[in-house]
Chain A
Amino acid sequence: MINVTDSAGQPPALHVAGLRFAYPDGREALRGVDLTLAPGERVALLGPNGAGKTTLVLHLNGILHGGGGRVEISGLPVIPRDRAAIAEIRRRVGIVFQDPDDQLFMPTVAEDVAFGPANLGLRGAELDARVDEALAAVGMSEHRDQVPHHLSFGQRRRVAVATVLAMRPEILVLDEPSSNLDPASRRELAEILETLPVTLLMVTHDLPYALELCPRSVILDAGRIAADGETTSLLADRDLMRGHRLELPFGFDPIAAAASRHP
């Protein structure tokens, strides 16, 4: 077993090596992905539609598997057959899916946030405390007994983040966190994400959002990591961006934006 450790001797939060996957219809989605995230890092995963981003995400907690290669979460390998280990992996990796209506399936907000920790075996007062803590972290405490359907889209997205935070994950994986959000909800979510003390992997098409939140970005295209580096320099490389069907919004200058960030 190869053990990748950083200078402090801590295993990386996420280590993916040679990951391959083909869907049953033969379509190859991942063709040897290598990716390592240090604890506490915030990384954006960029790429055009159909690049394999969602497929990669579903490998991180062992939902998809069997194509070769390995995934480790803080040193613990993802082995789907090992039920006890996979339960721990699913605690460590919190995935926030794109459509909050898919994520929020219980009749009330509090019950939904309690779902994950209850599956971890928490009960009673301890469970309530987890729910309160997670809802407080996303500023949704006053909505705990509401019906998810009656919340705004931005509020539902924040509750979806809370459902995952309640499991105290080590890595938070967000699939298109800013999609369908109005600018204010988008900013509020960014402020919340910035305060969370977790490793963050953010799948997104929203390049300014990636620049705002993630110092580092990787570009996934055609099942491979095509580029890995500082977000500002990746976004500023016009040829690289165009080569992978990534486009900045009209008039957006990543270098100027990064410079204006902390005046």
Chain B
Amino acid sequence: MGAGHAHPLHLDRLSPVHRLAAEVKIVAVLLFTIVVVLTPPTEFAAFGGYALLLVPVGIAARVPLLWLLKRATIELPFVLLAVALPFLGHGTRIEWLGLSLSVDGLHGAWNIFAKGTLGVLASLLLAATTTMRDLILGLDRLRVPTVFTQIATFMLRYIDVLAGDARRMRIARLSRGYDPRFLWQVKAFAVGVGSLFLRSYERGERVYLAMVSRGYTGRLPRSAEGRAPARQWAVSAMLPVASAGIAVAAAVLA
């Protein structure tokens, strides 16, 4: 199921992590992230422990480290903000290489950097091992309101159609000599966006008619029932349980 719903963050491999049910992985990543976020930023060792926990997951999922790091660059805008904090922060300051840095700012920067990186890495591992379709089905099985999963389902189906529309409109513009170099030349592009919106709106109406014609009454049929086996829950619980253990240990030892 879901073959072909590859997204740029998905890595098509056969691995034990890929085989886990989507809902199991979603819950594990969510709990892991919550534990990470709740940890006080001064527990430096705990963050190292969390990072070590992700290593066996990555190895089991057969996700190459370089692949993971490349995609983790999505975090960069937030890290840039974190870099500014030590310079802008208040309170006691320390000198380092001739720079005056705020201690609170340094802690704040570390907080953003450590938690952000761990969260991004865990999410990337989830995305790498789960197709979009399975993610949506997983959310559906986790009893996420159907209006969200329906919207996501339609997005999944029509994003390519929309992109195709946009691409054809762009080619048609370029073919007629459109070559915007200045801001005031973007009118044609803006009009294109507008007509893309109208087209999608009209398509929405036609899709709805087609659905009603096949007996749609407001609910998508639940495909693939069936629950993830307890063993999968137990296996994937290891990640949040271990991270919670590290958090507790850090709190006790501190």
Asked if B76 is an interface residue, CB under 8 A from chain A, the answer is: no
Contact for A150 among B2, B4, B215, CB less than 8 A: B4
A97 to B207: give the CA distance in the assembly, Å. 9
B5 adjacent to A87 (CB under 8 Å): no
Asked if A20 is an interface residue, CB under 8 A from chain B, the answer is: no
Indicate with 1 or 0, residue by residue over A96-138, a CB within 8 angstroms of chain B CB atoms: 0101011111111001001110111000000000000000000
Within 8 Å CB of B220, what residues of A?
106, 115
Asked if A17 is an interface residue, CB under 8 A from chain B, the answer is: no
A148 to B156: give the CA distance in the assembly, Å. 11
Asked if B90 is an interface residue, CB under 8 A from chain A, the answer is: no
From B14-22, B94-102, B157-165, the one touching the partner chain is B157-165
A105 to B162: give the CA distance in the assembly, Å. 13
Contact for A87 among B153, B210, B215, CB less than 8 A: B215
Known: A145-B3, A147-B5. A105 touches B217 (CB 8 A): no
Number of interface residues of A (CB under 8 A): 35
Sample of 4 more A-B contacts, CB < 8 Å, known A103-B210, A106-B220: A107-B5, A116-B215, A119-B214, A148-B157
| A–B Cβ pairs within 8 angstroms, 12 of them | A91-B215, A94-B213, A97-B210, A99-B203, A102-B203, A102-B210, A105-B207, A107-B5, A108-B1, A115-B211, A120-B215, A167-B215
Task: Give the A-binding residues of B (Cβ under 8 A).
Answer: 1-5, 133, 136, 153-154, 156-158, 160-161, 203, 206-207, 209-217, 220-221, 223
Task: Give the B-binding residues of A (Cβ under 8 A).
Answer: 58, 61, 63, 87, 90-91, 93-95, 97, 99, 101-108, 111, 114-116, 118-120, 145-150, 163-164, 167
Q: Which 7 interchain pairs have the tightest Cβ spacing?
A: A118-B221, A119-B215, A116-B214, A147-B4, A102-B206, A149-B160, A103-B210
